[in-house]
A and B are shown apart, each in its own frame.
Chain A
Amino acid sequence: MKTRLLTVVVPFAVAAMSASAAHADENLFGYVKGSETLPANASEAYIWLTHRFDKGQGEYSAYDSQIEYEYGVTSRFTASAALLGQSIDTSGLVIDGYLPSSESYGFKLSGIELKGKYNFLSAAMDPVGLSAEFELVQSWLDPHSGKDKDTTSFDVSFQLQKFFLDDQLIAVANAGLEGTYAKRVPLDAATQASADLAMQGLTGDPGAIFEWPTEPEMELEVTLGAGLSYRFAPNWSIGAETQYQTEFETEVGQERWTWFAGPTLHYGSKKWWATLTWFEQLAGGREQYINQADDSLHLIEKTEHEVRLKLGYNF
């Protein structure tokens, strides 16, 4: 699969670099979003790569990828479709209900995504820009454990955008709600047995078993975000962004909350753009795994650090 990814990524990168001119539509941020939509009949291709790593113990390193095609149906409505992929490499860490065993594989196709974004107010022409985005995702791999898990989620979010300083400074704010229906595939006997053994070691209880619920679950996730980006030179913008996220689940109520923040660097040229964001978990809470050393973070479904690279190509 790694080879397959390279065959997609390398030609894309080379094509982007050899573009005859410089500039683009853009994602100024890695995680939060602006309110702009594509012009009518314009197209854009993206690739996103996110590295999530470090759960405080053991080894945990996962890469999420997204290859997306976006089309401006009208100047106010943009539709897009994306293929999702992931790789994972984890060992030395068992988290009850979430991470049953070591896992290591290269990139696998993990899901598909359909998205629509409608622009109500233009940030350049109205006092503030406002858009709504609707997103439907179907995935079949669990991003946390790497195991098989069928997930259907629907996300509704709103994007506000405001220009300052003759449009050199851009502020955005986001609010989103995601509903998820998920069902896990049962663990095989050997994995269940090793996970049970790990739980017995962690708890000191010889009768402890590793819980891996396979009943369908419903989750609601609320995401709030904000970002500031300043164009400090032609083509180049630097910024900072932050995101608060919390999830509520049928059985436990509020399952987690996290607060991430970090710097963003953006380069945009006529045909392509790139955005690189470092996202650090500053605080988190609710569920924690057994013997978690840092109790000020949520490290079950999240990691301590994330790095996201986005590349976009306009045509």
Chain B
Amino acid sequence: MSHAPAWLIVPALIVPAVAVSPAYAVQYMTAEGAQKQLFPEASSFVAHPLRLTDAQKDRIEKVAKVRMRSPEQPVWQVLADGKPAGWFVLDEVYGKHEFITYAVALDAAGAVRGVEILDYRETHGGEIRNPKWRAQFNGAQFGAALKLGDDIQNISGATLSCKHISEGVRRVLAIHEVALKQP
């Protein structure tokens, strides 16, 4: 007599559930909402999607010390009263298991003006949505190390998320330096 069926019921229940269940997503804010939050004075957001050349991508990866998974980057130029007021960059980084969608606002000089978390789906570390944690990036410019534990405070249980957002902001600053900065 086999005693197998008792435990086989577990994968039998789990596997179909996983197969039919889409990944659960909590969207805290839309891109449009983040734009208004980060640039309340803006009169318009002009889509400025980037498609980086191989040379630009290599340069960004070299200076930021972070991989770029795609050469495409959603970017909007922010106008206030018809004048350039900065950039709004939408980005994704890995959390522990899923992507975290976040946005970085850069002022006209390329310094971080704010960071907003649009989606966060991890078990621990919801504190990264805390304004105080996000404010640590404000004012950062190209060249800033943004090293977790030194420049950016870690959040217990969300170390990977904190690390990847810090790296992501560093990458966004490099994108500005390489592909957006006005001569």
Q: Are B14 and A51 in contact (CB under 8 A)?
A: no
User: Separation in Å of the A118 CB from the closest CB of chain B?
Assistant: 15
Q: How far is the CA of A274 from the CA of B19 in the complex (A)?
A: 13
B: interface residue count bin: 35 or more
**Could you say which of A264-272, A277-285, A289-297 contacts chain B?**
A264-272
Q: Which residues of B contact A125 (CB under 8 A)?
A: 148-149, 154, 159, 163
Binding site for A on B (CB under 8 A): 1-7, 9-11, 13-14, 17-18, 21, 23-26, 66-67, 94-99, 121-125, 148-149, 154, 156-160, 163-164, 167
| Residue A40, interface by CB 8 Å | yes
Q: If the complex has contacts A124-B160, A234-B97, A269-B97, are A61 and B4 also in contact, measured as CB distance less than 8 A?
A: yes
User: Separation in Å of the B6 CB from the closest CB of chain A?
Assistant: 5
Q: If the complex has contacts A21-B24, A22-B23, A23-B98, are A309 and B121 also in contact, measured as CB distance less than 8 A?
A: no
| Residue A208, interface by CB 8 Å | no
Q: Mark A248-273, 1 if CB is under 8 A from B, else 0.
A: 00000000000000000001111100
| Residue A24, interface by CB 8 Å | yes
User: Separation in Å of the B27 CB from the closest CB of chain A?
Assistant: 12
Q: Are B26 and A17 in contact (CB under 8 A)?
A: no
Q: Mark A165-192, 1 if CB is under 8 A from B, else 0.
A: 1111000000000000000000000000
Q: If the complex has contacts A9-B7, A106-B3, are A168 and B94 also in contact, measured as CB distance less than 8 A?
A: yes
Q: How far is the CA of A38 from the CA of B96 in the complex (A)?
A: 13
Q: Are A231 and B94 in contact (CB under 8 A)?
A: yes
| Residue A13, interface by CB 8 Å | yes
Our pick among B23, B66, B99, B154 for the contact of A166 (Cβ within 8 Å) is B66
| Residue A303, interface by CB 8 Å | no
Q: Are A42 and B23 in contact (CB under 8 A)?
A: no
User: Separation in Å of the A35 CB from the closest CB of chain B?
Assistant: 12
Q: Mark A7-51, 1 if CB is under 8 A from B, else 0.
A: 001100110110011111110000000000011101000010101
Most chain-B CB neighbours within 10 Å: which of A22, A39, A75? A22
User: Which A residue sits closest to B11, measured CB to CB?
Assistant: A309
User: Separation in Å of the B23 CB from the closest CB of chain A?
Assistant: 5
Q: How far is the CA of A89 from the CA of B163 in the complex (A)?
A: 49
Q: Which residues of B contact A38 (CB under 8 A)?
A: 157
Q: Are B98 and A276 in contact (CB under 8 A)?
A: no
Q: If the complex has contacts A23-B96, A268-B96, are A51 and B7 also in contact, measured as CB distance less than 8 A?
A: yes
Q: Are B96 and A26 in contact (CB under 8 A)?
A: yes
Q: How far is the CA of A124 from the CA of B96 in the complex (A)?
A: 11
Our pick among B23, B159, B167 for the contact of A122 (Cβ within 8 Å) is B159
User: Separation in Å of the A74 CB from the closest CB of chain B?
Assistant: 9
Q: How far is the CA of A206 from the CA of B147 in the complex (A)?
A: 76
